[in-house]
Amino acid sequence: MDTPLINSLFTLMQHYRVTIRESINANELGLNAMHVRCLYIINDIENCTANDIVQKMRRDKAQIARLIKELINLGLVEKTASIKDKRCFIISFTTEGKALLTKVLEAEKAINEKMCKNISEEQVNTFTNVIDKMNNNLK
Please state which CATH number belongs to domain 4-138: 1.10.10.10
The pLDDT score that the predictor gives to residue 55 is 93
> How far, in Å, are 7, 46, 63 from residue 13 at the CA level?
10, 28, 22
**Own/partner pairs for 13-16, CB < 8 Å, 24+ apart?**
16/111, 16/115
- List pLDDT tens digits, range 10-45: 888 888 888 877 777 766 677 787 888 899 999 999
Q: State how far the Cα of 3 lies from the Cα of 20, in Å rounded to an integer.
A: 26
Instruction: Please list the alpha-helical segments (H only) found in 1-139.
Output: 4-23, 26-29, 33-44, 50-57, 61-73, 95-115, 121-138
CB 68 within 8 A of CB 79: yes
Question: 20-51: buried (b, 16+ CB within 10 Å) or exposed (e) per residue?
Answer: bbeebebeeeebeebbbebbebbbeeeebbbe
pLDDT digits over 88-135, tens only? 899 999 999 999 889 888 888 988 999 999 999 999 999 999 989 998
Q: How far apart are CA 86 and CA 36, in angstroms?
A: 27
In the chain, where the domains are located:
4-138
pLDDT tens track for 44-95: 999 999 999 999 998 999 999 999 999 999 999 999 988 877 778 999 999 9
Identify the pLDDT of residue 27. Answer: 61
Backbone angles phi, psi at 117, to 5 degrees: -60, 135
